[in-house]
Amino acid sequence: MAEQKRDYYEVLGVDKSADDAAIKKAYRALAKKYHPDMNPGDAEAEKKFKEASEAYAILSDPEKKRQYDQFGHAAFEGGAGGGGFGGFDFSGADFSDIFGDIFGDFFGGGRRGRGNTGPMKGSNIRTSVRITFEEAVFGTEKEIELTLKDECATCHGSGAKPGTSPETCSKCGGKGQVVFTQQSFFGTVRNVQTCPDCNGTGKVVKEKCPDCNGSGYIASRKKIQVSIPAGIDNGQSVRIRDKGEPGVNGGPRGDLLVEVIVGRHATFQRQDQNIFSTVPISFALAALGGEVVIDTVDGKVIYDVKAGTQTDTKVRLKNKGVPSIRNKEVRGDHYVTLVVQTPEKLSAEAKELLRKFDAETGDSLNAAKNVSTEKSDNKDSKKKKFWK
């Protein structure tokens, strides 16, 4: 019995309402993941690749998609004509743009029609720095140390020994790219990849500079000052221009991206621009009202607690939160939860005073006893009525 085919939309992981761009994007991701060239000898990957390709061939064609939406797989049974994967007909399906991109990704090239021997910006460098909660709120200056490359003073970045010059690459003719063909399930695909001999520069150094060994750059440890803006959050990065890798063929340097890691605070928690904390208050302060000292990032503030305040009451301290990273004059708020604390140890005098207080405010200590007495009186009354 033939294996039942999966729904094409399910295969690509898209909704039935997906447009052409979403369908193509989904297929490209699956094709790149399961292509046989990326999974040599993996029969399961090849099966998924064929399944995804079949689904794309149908859903990328408006007429075939309409038939599939109306009749399902039955619309194409018996009329395959024996071509393609497992008898499925792929005629009319256009895979050229997708596989041109995919093969370019596989082999380091692209589908660009021109060389890349012109000036190119250098790669970005990533590093991280740790700061405290308060430093994230108000901003700070940090010094980091890392290894950076600078142009070799001997060869001035050419990589060639003084008195010599880089030569035009014979493999690519100075274009920086070579054309190659790749056999696929859809025939021969013509693609372009970065030249492996010159790494895309179009030049080859025959006699290397003795100081930089032909790289054109000298690496050294350097200290860099980083300005952390007020209001920055954990995981955000600070960009420092022109502190990344050197450019190629006279291109500008890349950038340095410094990720900020904010340490935890013992009292405060942050959510966006707001700060949250919990402050304990005594039963007497909650009942009678009074002043309580609250810690904020700006220092201690005095807050007037209202009489009769219940536990878990939330109060708002305006403009005591985190500044906006775009405008430090705009700040969030500080939300404080007041929690009434029950004393764990009381003296005999304090206990007696508390009993008297309870008797005056509802006699809660004897509430259960009073209920039991009332039940007993009711039972005795019913017995008297019965015997009477």
Same domain, 195 and 73: no
Is 103 a domain residue?
A: no
User: Where does residue 303 rank: exposed (0-12), middle (13-18), buried (19+ CB within 10 A)?
Assistant: middle
Looking only at the bridges linking them, the beta strands covering 125-131 and 313-317 are: unpaired
Average pLDDT, 10 consecutive residues per value, the chain (388 residues): 77 89 88 77 85 89 87 69 44 54 48 53 90 94 91 84 86 80 61 78 84 86 93 92 83 90 94 94 90 93 93 94 90 95 86 85 76 60 56
DSSP result, 185-196: TTEEEEEEEE-T
Domain boundary among 199, 227, 262: 262
Q: How far apart are CA 193 and CA 204, in angstroms?
A: 17
Is 101 a domain residue?
A: no
Is 285 a domain residue?
A: yes
- Kindly report the CATH number assigned to the domain that includes residue 321: 2.60.260.20
- Kindly report the CATH number assigned to the domain that includes residue 132: 2.10.230.10
Same domain, 376 and 249: no
Is 107 a domain residue?
A: no
Q: How far apart are CA 70 and CA 55, in angstroms?
A: 15
The tokens for 309 are 């305040």
Domain boundaries, position 232: 125-262
Same domain, 191 and 231: yes
Same domain, 129 and 256: yes
Is 336 a domain residue?
A: yes
The pLDDT assigned to 112 comes to: 41
Domain boundary among 236, 262, 288: 262
- Kindly report the CATH number assigned to the domain that includes residue 61: 1.10.287.110
Same domain, 73 and 130: no
Taken in order 32, 34, 37, 39, the sign of the CA dihedral is positive
Structure-token match 């393609």, residue found = 84
The pLDDT assigned to 339 comes to: 94
Same domain, 137 and 183: yes
Same domain, 281 and 383: no
Q: Residues 6 or more apart from 169 whose CB is under 8 A from it?
A: 176, 195, 197, 198, 201, 202, 203, 204
Is 187 a domain residue?
A: yes
Same domain, 198 and 316: no
Domain boundary among 231, 262, 293: 262
Same domain, 238 and 133: yes
The pLDDT assigned to 81 comes to: 38
The pLDDT assigned to 109 comes to: 43
pTM: 0.56
CA angle, residues 332, 338, 339, in degrees to nearest 5: 145
Same domain, 196 and 250: yes
Same domain, 21 and 135: no
The pLDDT assigned to 150 comes to: 87
Is 360 a domain residue?
A: yes
User: Where does residue 273 rank: exposed (0-12), middle (13-18), buried (19+ CB within 10 A)?
Assistant: middle
The pLDDT assigned to 89 comes to: 52
Same domain, 140 and 171: yes
Q: Residues 6 or more apart from 130 whose CB is under 8 A from it?
A: 261, 262, 263
The pLDDT assigned to 170 comes to: 83
Is 106 a domain residue?
A: no
| Tally of domains within the chain | 4
Q: How far apart are CA 85 and CA 47, in angstroms?
A: 10
Q: How far apart are CA 296 and CA 303, in angstroms?
A: 12
